[in-house]
């Protein structure tokens, strides 16, 4: 390894090195972040992929109502569900709020990652301090994920019973 590469590795930002998003910035700017980037490391509903879903094709086998809402809060099913303009706007606003909350949680998570990085950089850190820092970090991740799932659940509840049934194949 050349000295320059070794130097760059040593001075890499802890937030970058520990980022869930891989962007290193921890900032999402003014626009809503790309869902693919946000959920690549930790999908909000777990690792069950829903694949490409929209009004044009069949729904993925084994689809569940909440899983179908994760990517675009059901807005990609406008024709299939007969969503009204009011429903579309409410779903858009719900998604916007959920993504903003996800970004806020992500900033907290990245700050906690830095704390773990700094702590583990001290050769005499205490195991109890590390354990507490890691528990706090995982709690923040759990809170982020639960908040997003709750937002998708709320979006699902804004659909009529007939619309919900048509998505999960019982109508």
Q: Tell me the average pLDDT of the chain.
A: 75
Asked, for residue 98, whether it belongs to a domain, the answer is yes
Query: What's the whole-model pTM score?
Result: 0.66
pLDDT 10s digits, 84-137: 999 999 999 999 999 999 999 999 999 999 999 999 999 999 999 999 999 999
Asked if the model's pLDDT at residue 62 lies above 60, the reply is no
Lowest mean pLDDT among 3-12, 45-54, 119-128, 129-138: 3-12
Reported confidence tier of residue 30, pLDDT bands at 50, 70, 90 = very low
Asked, for residue 92, whether it belongs to a domain, the answer is yes
Q: Tell me which residue range forms the domain holding 79.
A: 15-22+33-47+55-167
Integer Cα distance of 153 and 67 in angstroms? 10
Asked, for residue 114, whether it belongs to a domain, the answer is yes
Handedness of CA 52, 55, 60, 65 (dihedral sign): positive
Reported confidence tier of residue 13, pLDDT bands at 50, 70, 90 = very low
Asked, for residue 154, whether it belongs to a domain, the answer is yes
**Residue 33: which region, alpha, beta or left (left: phi > 0; alpha: psi -120 to 50)?**
beta
Asked, for residue 27, whether it belongs to a domain, the answer is no
Integer Cα distance of 127 and 122 in angstroms? 12
Q: What is the pLDDT of residue 68?
A: 86
Q: What is the pLDDT of residue 7?
A: 37
pLDDT winner (highest mean) among 10-19, 21-30, 77-86: 77-86
Q: At what angle do helices 85-121 and 127-157 cross, to 10 degrees?
A: 180
Q: Which residue has the tokens 């891989």?
A: 22
Asked, for residue 1, whether it belongs to a domain, the answer is no
Asked, for residue 131, whether it belongs to a domain, the answer is yes
3-state SS of 39-87 is HCCCCCCCCCCCCCCCCCCCCCCCCCHHHHHCCCCCHHHHHHHCCCHHH
* Runs of H (alpha helix) within 19-167: 35-39, 65-69, 78-81, 85-121, 127-157, 161-167
The count of structural domains within the chain is 1
Asked, for residue 107, whether it belongs to a domain, the answer is yes
């Amino acid at each position: 390894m050349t000295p320059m590469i070794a130097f760059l590795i040593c001075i890499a930002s802890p937030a970058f090195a520990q980022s869930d998003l891989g962007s290193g910035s921890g900032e999402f700017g003014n626009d809503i972040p790309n869902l693919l980037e946000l959920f690549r490391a930790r999908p909000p509903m777990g690792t069950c992929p829903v694949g490409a879903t929209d009004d044009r094709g069949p729904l993925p086998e084994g689809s569940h109502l909440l899983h179908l809402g994760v990517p675009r809060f059901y807005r990609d099913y406008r024709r299939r569900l007969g969503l009204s303009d009011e429903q579309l706007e409410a779903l858009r606003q719900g998604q916007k709020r959920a993504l903003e909350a996800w970004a806020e949680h992500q900033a907290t998570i990245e700050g906690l990652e830095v704390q773990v990085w700094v702590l583990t950089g001290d050769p005499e850190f205490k195991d109890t301090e590390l354990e507490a820092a890691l528990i706090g970090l995982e709690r923040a991740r759990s809170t982020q994920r639960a908040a997003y799932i709750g937002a998708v659940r709320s979006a699902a509840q804004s659909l009529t019973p007939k619309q919900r049934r048509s998505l999960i194949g019982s109508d």
